[in-house]
Amino acid sequence: MVEFKREVPVSGKYDVVVCGGGPAGIGASLAAAREGCKTLIIERFGFFGGMATAGYVDPMSEFAYNGSLVTGGIPWEFANELVKAGGGIVEEPRCNVSFNPEIYKLVAQRMLLGAGVKLMMNTFLIGAECDDKKIKRIFVTNKSGISAIEAETFVDATGDGDLANFAGVPMLPLSERMQPGSFCFILSGVDTTTERMHIIHQKNHRFNHQAVFIRDTLFKLREEGEYVPQFGGPWLATTLEDGCITVNMTRSAVDATNAEEYCEAECKMREDIFRLVELICKHVPEFKNAKIASTAPMAGVRETRRIKGVHVLTGEEYVNTVKFPDSIARACHPVDIHLPGDEGQKLTFPKDAGYIPYRSLITNEYKNLLVAGRAASADSEAFAAIRVQAPCMEMGQAAGIAAGLAKRQGVCVTDINTDELVEIVRKYGSFV
């Protein structure tokens, strides 16, 4: 170990700093700015969307349960903005939203700028300085160098709980079998007009949308002695452009918070993509002219750290639709556990759309920290349901509103009046 010590400038002071610009970070920043907070969002890539755009994770799941909308507010507004911009399609009955990742990036930045959020892209969060009960400042790095940023409230929307981890917040034990990562890609030149390719439209399946005809072909080839890398699904979605689809099928049991392991997994899965596409093009007629248009900027990460918050949402609470006095978001995705090998998924369906309490976004350690999205406080079962994009953005929305309320009430986010919070969340259009 060596010590790394240096003086750095304070590059800004805000009411709210949101770390991470995925679905949760977008929701948090929009809500905080709309609640009158001077808000900054920090994002390591040069665009927003997190897994949606950096991981080509398509569609945005999911808004409706038994035909009724259950996730509303900013996520639903965002979905409708995507549609208006020609970059999204809402498909009933579940109201999953397939989208074009390039238009997603544009819509996200327009909405953030429109709300008055200050953007800081290509910037990595690298540390935090805390006193007794508060995060005082964070440290970031970008091409301008290392600097510190101060805020009244910090929202950790990094997906991996990076800020909470730097601050020493205790994490829940990782799942026994952590969900695997998948490196998604876009194919062009696919014949999407045949009956079985209608699977790319979310309206054509209720819960699962595996392309079974591709899966069966690959299993058969493996039996015949061909080398077929490990895969799941495949799950296909439309990018809304003729002949172009996103494909989610590679698999790697990797801890993405271990940089070396993640690098190895990314290289291996890139090789796997090329091999799998070679086989599919050769053996599945719709893909005979298909080409890899692009691989996602990063291999997708399903599961890493989760904080041990004031409340740990359990799978039992989720599937039994337990409603909390401080419910701030809803989700209706099944408990969806992807298994590391070729075995597919384990799905458990909730009785009705489940609830997420505000207490799963705050910690006992810090009074000015909120953790929204994938790293919120939930056990591995509840996590496997609330990890999808619509509820992550709705958790972000609640975090932003809470920061605004804290500012107005002159208290910290752990001490706000949660009845008032829930009222405002409802006014935003959420069904809590």
Ligand X SMILES: Cc1cc2nc3c(=O)[nH]c(=O)nc-3n(C[C@H](O)[C@H](O)[C@H](O)COP(=O)(O)OP(=O)(O)OC[C@H]3O[C@@H](n4cnc5c(N)ncnc54)[C@H](O)[C@@H]3O)c2cc1C
Which stretches of the chain bind ligand X, using CB under 6 A? 19-25, 42-45, 50-52, 54-55, 57, 59-61, 124-125, 157-160, 162, 182, 184, 248, 300-302, 373-374, 387-389, 392
Q: Which helix (H) or strand (E) holds 382?
A: helix 380-386
* Angle at 304 (CA atoms; ends 348, 118), nearest 5 degrees: 110
- Cα 258 to chain centroid distance, Å, stands at 19
Closer CB to ligand X, residue 54 or residue 329?
Answer: 54
Residues 6+ apart with CB under 8 A from 325: 418, 419, 422
- Cβ at position 99, least distance to ligand X in Å: 10
Closer CB to ligand X, residue 118 or residue 283?
Answer: 118
Quote the CA–CA distance of 325 and 362 in Å, as a whole number: 15
- Cβ at position 410, least distance to ligand X in Å: 29
For residue 125, what are the CA distances in angstroms to 16, 112, 370, 404?
15, 19, 16, 23
Largest pairwise CA distance in the chain = 68
Closer CB to ligand X, residue 145 or residue 325?
Answer: 145
CA atoms within 13 A on the CB side of 107: 26
Q: Which helix (H) or strand (E) holds 338?
A: strand 335-338
- Cβ at position 417, least distance to ligand X in Å: 26
Closer CB to ligand X, residue 59 or residue 225?
Answer: 59
Q: 89 and 238 in contact (C-beta within 8 Å)?
A: yes
CA atoms within 13 A on the CB side of 44: 17
- Cβ at position 325, least distance to ligand X in Å: 24
- Cβ at position 192, least distance to ligand X in Å: 18
Closer CB to ligand X, residue 226 or residue 303?
Answer: 303
**What b/e sequence results for 109-124 when a residue is b if at least 16 CB atoms lie within 10 Å of its CB, and e otherwise?**
bebbeebebbbbeebb
Q: Please name every residue paired with 335 in a beta bridge, in sequence order, or none if there are none.
A: 348
Closer CB to ligand X, residue 373 or residue 404?
Answer: 373
- Cβ at position 246, least distance to ligand X in Å: 10
Closer CB to ligand X, residue 77 or residue 191?
Answer: 77
- Cβ at position 362, least distance to ligand X in Å: 16
